Amino acid sequence: MLLLRRIPRLPSLLSPLRRIHTLPRSRSPILPHNASSRALTPHLRPSSLILRAHASTTLSSETSKSIQESTTNPTPAHPTVYAPPTTGFLSLLPAPIVPYAELVRLQAPTGTLYLLLPCLWSTLLAATLTAPVTPLPAVLGTCALFTTGAFIMRGAGCTINDLWDRRIDPLVSRTRLRPLARGAISVPAAVAFTGAQLLAGLALLVQFPVPVIWAAIPSLAVVAAYPGMKRVTHYPQAVLGLAFSWGALLGFPALGLSLLDPTVATVAALLYGSNVAWTVLYDTVYAHQDIKDDKKAGVKSTAVRHEHDTKRFLAALGVVQVGLLAGAGVVAGAGPVFFVGSCGGAAAGLAWMIWRVRLGVVRECGEWFRWCAWAVGGVAVGGGLIGEYAWKRITEETVEGEVKSQI
């Protein structure tokens, strides 16, 4: 009894055993009728309680660990059967149009933003190089044309890509339900649709100055070649970067600056190179979504090539991107707003993404891919360029006002 008082929980442990001990032999729910009476006598050993508690704790710990791993590393759930969209913009379209809307990725505008951003960057940087600084209406009008063009040409690029990959896409869980892969659009119809998109792009292109037209036409060859690069090199993202960064060259002639001018050409080349590095960076993160299926299908990518050292590869690309961007600012005579906002913001954003992204988690790769477009490309680099343009415009107007007041 003294022992029971000093160990309050021991009676609660003994009570089930006492109940078992008082059960009649014929009604024992545990042992058969021919079991010995000795077997019915409970033996309470401290060691058995400790082992039982330890086993329970271990099981509980392992279960918690399993739950935690399943939470932090969720298995991606890709649908195996196509279901028409029931929410969003696509659900409002007539059923025959939906496959074409899916083909141009209307439901995923991040790719359009990635194509548009270098156009906006070059336009804003070019506006600070003109004398006087380009008026805001001209900048906005040029950006509006580039926005429309990015929407059209991104759709054409997606169609060309899916035509190339129509036999590979069914082997990849993320892409197997694309319109061409599932047979919702025939190859001849997709080719005709591509032609219509390219004609629409040409109709828009002729709205720009002639030098822009000549500078833009070579990009079509790069766009067409990109999908095939997945079959011949582990660096197709570099070719994608050449295509997606082309707009970094077009903003300068769009505002009347010649790409043959040494200063303009240097700024444009540095900005273009910076964007190529950025494209390889974010698309490597994106490619980690499909790394398992790509290896099975024999598709090459930077994610496959650098599977075991991806973060070091991304960090090197980030250094190149920010370095070339800063170089473009130096040659362009940019001020502190650009270097703090665009360069500093891009460096901080990329460092944060590279540190935080878990490349083995498919969902996170897609989320960080989208985040990089808006946070790094839009807010950081774009915001810095907007601030630089506004600062130079205000400074110029202030100086003009002072000069007029003195006359």
Q: What percent of the chain has pLDDT over 70?
A: 80
pLDDT in tens, 307-345: 999 999 999 999 999 999 999 999 999 999 999 999 999
Who's near 304: CB < 8 A, 6+ residues apart?
234, 287, 291, 294, 295
Instruction: Label residue 73 by pLDDT band (50, 70, 90).
Output: very low
User: Would you state the pLDDT for residue 78?
Assistant: 63
Indicate the range of 51-55, 261-265, 367-371 predicted with least confidence: 51-55
Instruction: Tell whether the model's pLDDT for residue 399 goes beyond 90.
Output: no
**Between these two residues, 62 and 12, which has the higher pLDDT value?**
12
User: Would you state the pLDDT for residue 227?
Assistant: 85
**Between these two residues, 18 and 351, which has the higher pLDDT value?**
351
Closest residue by Cα to residue 335 from 278, 277, 379, 394: 394
Instruction: Label residue 50 by pLDDT band (50, 70, 90).
Output: very low
User: Would you state the pLDDT for residue 82?
Assistant: 87
pLDDT in tens, 206-235: 999 999 999 999 998 998 888 889 889 999
Helices (H) and strands (E) counted in the chain, each on its own, are 20, 0
pLDDT in tens, 107-146: 999 999 999 999 999 999 999 999 999 999 999 999 999 9
User: Would you state the pLDDT for residue 182?
Assistant: 92
Instruction: Tell whether the model's pLDDT for residue 361 goes beyond 50.
Output: yes
Instruction: Tell whether the model's pLDDT for residue 31 goes beyond 50.
Output: no
User: Would you state the pLDDT for residue 337?
Assistant: 96
User: Would you state the pLDDT for residue 224?
Assistant: 85
| pTM for this entry | 0.79
User: Would you state the pLDDT for residue 89?
Assistant: 87
Phi, psi of 241 (to 5 degrees): -65, -40
Q: How far is CA 253 from CA 61, 215, 330, in A?
A: 64, 8, 20
Average pLDDT rounded to a whole number, residues 265-293: 96
User: Would you state the pLDDT for residue 24?
Assistant: 42
Instruction: Tell whether the model's pLDDT for residue 161 goes beyond 80.
Output: yes
The rounded mean pLDDT for the chain is: 84
Distance CA(337)–CA(329), nearest Å, equals 10
Alpha-helical runs (H) found in 128-209: 136-164, 179-182, 187-205
User: Would you state the pLDDT for residue 371?
Assistant: 97
Positive or negative torsion for Cα 312, 314, 315, 321: positive
